[in-house]
Chain A
């Protein structure tokens, strides 16, 4: 099952801070709920994993992520990730992400093609867009947090060199993707839509 996602998120942080996070794979990974990076397997490739917890069940997707191209001048990159869990699902994603500047504001622009096979596609297929929206929202919140921290860090500690992003100071996101939280967020957005529609009609 293939889903294309096109997203724009206003970040409210300076573009170079946003790019500093985006261009650092480890920082990006740490924004992704449940994701972690493992050993480096190539110049721009890492092993990685994503853990999803739904109630008592935990699924762990293991795989590889690789940066296919990075364009610092235009603040854009293309990366590809793929992985599989042991329960009979596999997923791959090709992501084009960039930081655009508009009216002095930075905007994170993402275009992702996600292909899911196996049980996740069979059971979760129709929820994929909604679930992705929720996950991406969490991702962007973490991302903004990190980028803001990057802006604040030098002010708090003038000695620190600014060429190394102070990602450690940002609040660490939860280290697993919590299905219950996703479920709750989905219910809230669905209810919102329901009432929104009613009042509009």
Chain B
């Protein structure tokens, strides 16, 4: 009996391709606790490593005594910088062109810096043994404030760089100066300010925060002394780059280095860098000839692995009296900590901060970022954002609010007036970016209508007029544009490797497929969404498409997952590889159907002879034929590899609105409403997009309302446990409302722009905008994050707000 014939629409639905809210393939194992993370890996004969860390933030190491630790039964080795020196591994290059100590060499530069490692039979012995390593320090003056670091008589932090007047990014003019990087046209910006009727300035600090993924960093290094092969399982967002670096550092040929990123419990930028722990575990495995595991604890993770932000920014806007922006100037002091270990494309020491002209048509702009050493942990990664875009968006969105306040204009009105119009795309910004597509006006009106903005403003006015109202009401509005998908290799590289990404697809004879990628999922759901792109391109059901990532021995070379680059770059590579297969499949189909290729039409999952619905070959038919009877002159098999070098970045955008009610007596704030409209171009899986947005908004809420890494004068980090460092749970997290518009990217094969970081980037200034708005009638133009109840309470007192 024949099966009922399905319509093209039904067949399309069966594929679960692009646009389908297909359930995440990863979740079956995660919700059953069957994920395989680094710490789940147990190898025969495996030893454990723990790290002796410095209690002081700046000091000279006078003496290290290992004897007592070595005497503990089960301890195999205690290594210090002196032991790594003969291998030239006591220092390592950073991604930013600086060097960082692997184990402190004569001096410690920040609290919790790695000083020595202990290798022992188990984690418990290792933990006991690190306490038995005696280290004597001579304390040195500590520099925490980056402005103080630039004083002429400030202590010299990096003695290893003394006398070096040239850094990786140009001249250094002070012993604690790393680089000064500029973008835009200073002369034009100055001229705009000289003649402007209105100017505003605002200083703001974007505090140091930590991405704090649920899984901390770690690795299992296993060197096989007989084969000379090094296999390392590692919590890395960029395993291929790690392989290259490990090969360069260790001298093991890259063909004998295998890096595997297993399941990763969140990265958010924290797992891009190469940390001393990884290097030490690898060295220890090579030296001892046994596998060595290293797993950080939470305190170590927050204290010593890559932080984000810590930008002290001065913004200036010039405008006409009716609110048209004429010029933007920005000066930043960037606190990079003890070593410049930022993870940015090589040519951009301040990342893509020069996206700071935002969604606005600003004719003249200039920015200058000065990187500074202090006695804090190194890092400066993009915490769920694309290379300093969060800082840039925060700066411009705050400044536009400040200007609106000065002119007594509405926040929405000033944005309408300055938006890049739809017909201006592709738009060249004063900083040199070519914005691909956007429709800001439509999106803004959609949000204002959805929340009834006018009614909210009326309610606010009424509450301000009522002295008995127990709350201050604030309305935050942010209209941001991101730059993601790094990036075109003509401008973007990491350690000289262009920031392309890659995909290899193999179609098996029976019509199922496997795709291998240069990226690595950390919760984004790649195994689900990548399959959907292939399903739509090739007519193979998502369900039979396997996606593999993270093993450098099987996957093609790629730069990894961060900066919202997976969909813009790797997603494009998938589509392009699939199209190569499609082209070959069409030849095979024409051969099977004995017609010319020009007579074939593609419909969902099959090639049809034009005008004859009965004459067709499905992709599964073609796949079998590719292995059985390929046409003469065509090689057998059905697979393709594509390395995609994007012609441009993509520019997702969003309109976010937040209503906050602040208790006048206690300073407690309640997020009454948060409305997030995102435009990420073509939407691959709406359910996953919603999940990404919920996650990003929640992390944005965390940063804006509570996360901070406070240091005291001695350089003690006073917030490195989850008791102090704010990770919101369901209890604190507000309810999110999401919405979207679709403005595809014209240069991307499927029009997708990337989404996971937009909600983080966009929401943070929205919360600040709302909190400041609650105080705006008192003349307050800016309040630094985090907006904790205590800090808001202090502000209430400062402003004389009475209950």
Contact = CB atoms under 8 A, between A and B. Distances in A.
Interface of A: 1-2, 84, 86-90, 115-119, 121-123, 125-126
Given A86-B131, A87-B131, A122 B56 contact: no
Interface in B40-89: 53-57
A90 B714 CA distance: 11
B460 interface: no
Contacts of A125: 712, 716, 718
B132 interface: yes
Given A86-B131, A123-B721, A1 B55 contact: no
Contact of A122 (B131, B137, B718): B718
A108 to B, nearest CB: 28
Given A117-B111, A121-B712, A125-B712, A1 B56 contact: no
A161 B53 CA distance: 53
B134 A86 contact: yes
A117 B131 contact: no
Contacts, number: 49
Contacts of A117: 55-57, 111, 714-716
A84 B714 contact: no
A90 B55 contact: yes
A1 B710 CA distance: 11
B784 interface: no
Interface in B286-307: 299
A81 to B, nearest CB: 15
B386 interface: no
Contact of A1 (B53, B134, B137, B718): B718
Main secondary structure of the interface of A (DSSP, over half): mixed
12 contacts: A2-B713, A2-B714, A86-B131, A86-B132, A87-B131, A88-B53, A90-B56, A117-B57, A117-B714, A121-B714, A122-B716, A122-B720
B303 to A, nearest CB: 8
Contacts of B131: 86-87
B104 interface: no
A52 to B, nearest CB: 15
B590 interface: no
A117 B137 CA distance: 12
Contacts of A87: 131
B32 to A, nearest CB: 35
A89 B299 CA distance: 14
A115 B141 CA distance: 13
B58 to A, nearest CB: 11
Most chain-B CB neighbours within 10 Å: which of A115, A117, A119, A126? Answer: A117
Contacts of A90: 55-56, 137
Nearest to A82: B139
Most chain-A CB neighbours within 10 Å: which of B131, B132, B716, B721? Answer: B716
B717 interface: yes
Most chain-A CB neighbours within 10 Å: which of B53, B55, B299, B721? Answer: B55
Interface string B703-727: 0000000001111111011000000
Main secondary structure of the interface of B (DSSP, over half): loop
**Contact-size category for B:** 20 to 34
B139 to A, nearest CB: 8
Most chain-A CB neighbours within 10 Å: which of B53, B134, B714, B717? Answer: B714
Contacts of B134: 86
Smallest CB-CB A-B distances: 7 pairs:
A118-B55, A121-B716, A86-B131, A88-B55, A1-B712, A117-B55, A1-B716
A66 B718 CA distance: 30
A1 B57 CA distance: 11
Contacts of A84: 55
A126 B719 CA distance: 11
A126 B720 CA distance: 13
A122 B54 CA distance: 13
Contacts of A119: 55
A23 B354 CA distance: 65
Interface in B125-168: 131-132, 134, 137
Nearest to B136: A84
A118 B131 CA distance: 13
Contacts of B713: 1-2
A121 to B, nearest CB: 4
A118 B718 contact: no
Contacts of A2: 712-714
B712 A118 contact: no
Nearest to A92: B139
Contacts of B53: 88
Interface string B664-707: 00000000000000000000000000000000000000000000
A127 B62 CA distance: 31
Interface string B105-136: 00000010000000000000000000110100
Contacts of A116: 716
Contact of A115 (B54, B137, B714, B721): B714
A88 B715 CA distance: 14
Nearest to B721: A123
A125 to B, nearest CB: 5
Given A89-B55, A117-B57, A122-B721, 5 more contacts: A1-B714, A118-B55, A119-B55, A121-B718, A122-B716
A88 B55 CA distance: 5
A107 B716 CA distance: 35
B53 to A, nearest CB: 6
Nearest to A86: B131
B67 to A, nearest CB: 14
B608 to A, nearest CB: 69
A71 to B, nearest CB: 29
A126 B134 CA distance: 28
A29 B482 CA distance: 63
Nearest to A118: B55
